[in-house]
A and B are shown apart, each in its own frame.
Chain A
Amino acid sequence: MKTPVQFRLNDQPVAVFVDGGDNLLTALRDGVGDVTPKFGCGQGACGACTVIVEGEPRLACITLAEACEGARVETLAGLRRGPDLHPLQSAFMEHFAAQCGFCTPGMIMAAKALLDRNPRPSREEVVEAIAGNICRCTGYEPIIEAILAAAASARRY
């Protein structure tokens, strides 16, 4: 039995049919075709699937798709406006804050959720914001530096 769910994905209305109990990650990746959120664990432990729902960072793999009916959902696919990169994207590039890049979509969305509500975070606040995101490659330091640099950059988006 499929259930229709409608929400706003990166400011566009989308509709998708889900099975009862399907999570938002499945709805986005298999239903809508937005593959920027990644599957790293399916148990809320790695943050690779991090998206923003109604301004809050959410782990899509443990968020019920049907619970997002009518919600505003943001993913990495919507971060870039035309050719312009979001300051977080530029800062991740400048700081070489990705290696395999698999954690990157979730990292950037976790960071965006932080900067949206706290544009000038301390290092501790940055660490706390990404504490649920596992990166196996970088050792975190370049990621923390990139987020702090994005916050410090005068360019507001």
Chain B
Amino acid sequence: MLEFRKDYFADERRDDLDVIGKGVQRQDMLGHVTGTTTFFDDHKMAGMGHLKVLRSPHHHARIRHIDVSQAERSPGVRRVIRGADVPRNLNTLLGLIGFGKDDEPSLATTKVRYRGEPIVAVVADSERLAHEALARVRVDYDPLPAVFDVEEALKPGAPTVNDVYPGNAFEYHDRFDHQRVRFGDVEAGFRSADHVLEQRYQMSPIEQAPTETNGSIAAPETNGRFVVYTPTQGLFFSLDTCAKILDVESNALHFVGGTAGGGFGGKVDSLTEPLAILGAMLTGRPVRYVLGREEEMQFGGPRSGERIVIKDGLMRDGRIVARKVTVWFDSGAYTRLTSYGAVKCAAHVPGPYTIPAVHGDFYCVFTNRTPATAMRGFGVTGVDFALECQMDKLAALAGMDPMEFRILNAYRDGDMKAHRREAKNTALVECVQVAAEKARWPIREEFRRASSRTGGGGERARIPPTPKDTSPPKRTAGGSTYTPSVAPPPASSWDRPAASPPATPFQERFAMPPPPPAPMPRPASSQPPAPPPPEPADRREPPPPAAPGPGTTRFSSVFGTRRR
């Protein structure tokens, strides 16, 4: 079922360590099989209140009036919580690293922007009593036109989803409604190509669906602090998010977690912690807020839907000479983490291949659906689907075997990537070779002999001349945002930018070498003595402290100094 190919890269590895590389038993396994692993909801407390929220039945509506008077008189109700009770009822998760503007309320007050958005919370003596009270809340809505398609949302005249971003797109670098990648001249590449193929792909939203739903239990602790039992995927990330929303110092909160019943990205957003703590603050008792499965599936953020258009220029011999990629991420009604996923996608394009001209536009678009967020591989999984389907089509177009086509175009050590960093420690060629071998998928000798460690660099290490993009930057209205480009440059040696571009046209310089004749690494026995294994910490240069950018700074226990 699973085999180790120790013959590959044996000279870069030492396989004689004591416990590293050994399949020893997990520390948590005995707890799992005996049921003694403690999850957040296994903490039981006397006098616990149960919190439930009323959610919008509309995709988009103005809230005219909220009447909670009957709910407040409902049996077993300890407290009804509305938007006005939340100390800072507007937040964006990555505000903690100064990325993006506060755009999402904990409880909606004037407008709802997706079906399922929380409006009113009730703390009652049982979940059932809380539900009964919520049924007595009266909300008057004026339904508004909604938009669900990312390209529709960007058209002039589309309904504005998120007032903080009136153009329905996240704002990058204070001036663009998308993140750009510009590397070489794609238009020249298309002109010179033997084939040009443009295709559209679509990935629907996907749920993280951990078997344990989101939830938390908050309780007053000694010295005015609150303890919070939580399955969050980022203990301090969640703690600081709560401190900000509740306007308390971070040391007023004591988070206990570290063990979650699955996450897959679905427990990054602090969906329940702020209201559970607020409930405990307002009632003085422990408060438990656990999502039911339908809430988790419908209102916990999924991975965003992604629409992807890829245009490639292909030579008859199988080389890809230009790749243009446009991706629209459907962020739903608020930003959460999708803005970041789009930049991760920008860094990933054109996939693990060396292509001399790459052009990318990456949009984070707001629509009237549940805000999207992180999910296992987000920013990459969707575009990988598109890129690899495209690669299959290109191989057919070139009349090549799909495996050999991958190896021909694979990035290798020393190549320049589209984000202008040198490829290192690559192993795509070897993975394709081994997968072919396992599947008994014949590939020709020259491709079996290719290596990630040879054939790269040289001409492939250059940054091609890149024409300036003169298309007017489309900016979304609104105030200024943090611009990552003003952060201090990294000093890490492994990511040094390459030499500046030479003046010759790229087609002449970027001649794809034939698959190199270098032999594949053989088992350790036939190798020269292995060099000592890498010693990570010793080799690292100590990173310089992050210098604060312009603007005032404020200390954050999650991220240290941050700009405001």
Contacts and interface: CB of A to CB of B under 8 A. Distances in A.
Interface string B37-60: 101011010000000000000000
A98 interface: yes
Interface in B1-48: 25-26, 28-35, 37, 39, 41-42, 44
Given A35-B44, A38-B212, A89 B292 contact: no
B209 A136 contact: yes
Contact of B212 (A35, A45, A77, A100): A100
Given A38-B211, A40-B213, 11 more contacts: A35-B41, A38-B261, A43-B293, A77-B35, A80-B34, A100-B210, A100-B260, A101-B33, A102-B261, A104-B35, A137-B211
The DSSP consensus for interface residues of chain A is loop
Among A46, A76, A101, A135, chain B packs the most CB atoms within 10 A around the CB of A101
B29 A93 contact: yes
A109 to B, nearest CB: 10
Given A19-B126, A41-B293, A102 B33 contact: no
Interface residues of B, number: 31
Interface in A97-142: 98-105, 108, 134-137
A48 interface: yes
A102 B210 contact: yes
A35 B39 CA distance: 9
B293 A42 contact: yes
Interface of A: 19, 29-30, 33, 35-36, 38-43, 45-46, 48, 75-77, 79-80, 85, 88-89, 92-93, 96, 98-105, 108, 134-137
B33 A45 contact: no
Given A100-B260, A101-B28, A85 B211 contact: no
Contact of A33 (B26, B44, B261): B44
Residue from B28, B33, B128, B292 with most neighbouring chain A CB atoms (10 Å): B33
A118 B75 CA distance: 49
A42 B293 CA distance: 7
Given A35-B44, A38-B261, A48 B33 contact: no
Nearest to B28: A101
B34 A136 contact: no
A105 B293 contact: no
Contacts of A96: 26, 29
Given A41-B293, A100-B260, A135 B211 contact: yes
Given A35-B44, A39-B41, A41-B293, A98 B212 contact: no
A103 B32 CA distance: 9
Nearest to B42: A35
A36 to B, nearest CB: 3
A102 B264 CA distance: 14
B128 A19 contact: yes
B33 A104 contact: yes
21 contacts: A29-B44, A30-B44, A33-B44, A38-B211, A40-B211, A41-B293, A42-B292, A43-B294, A76-B34, A77-B35, A92-B29, A93-B29, A98-B29, A100-B212, A100-B261, A102-B261, A104-B32, A108-B33, A136-B209, A136-B210, A137-B211
Contacts of B292: 41-42
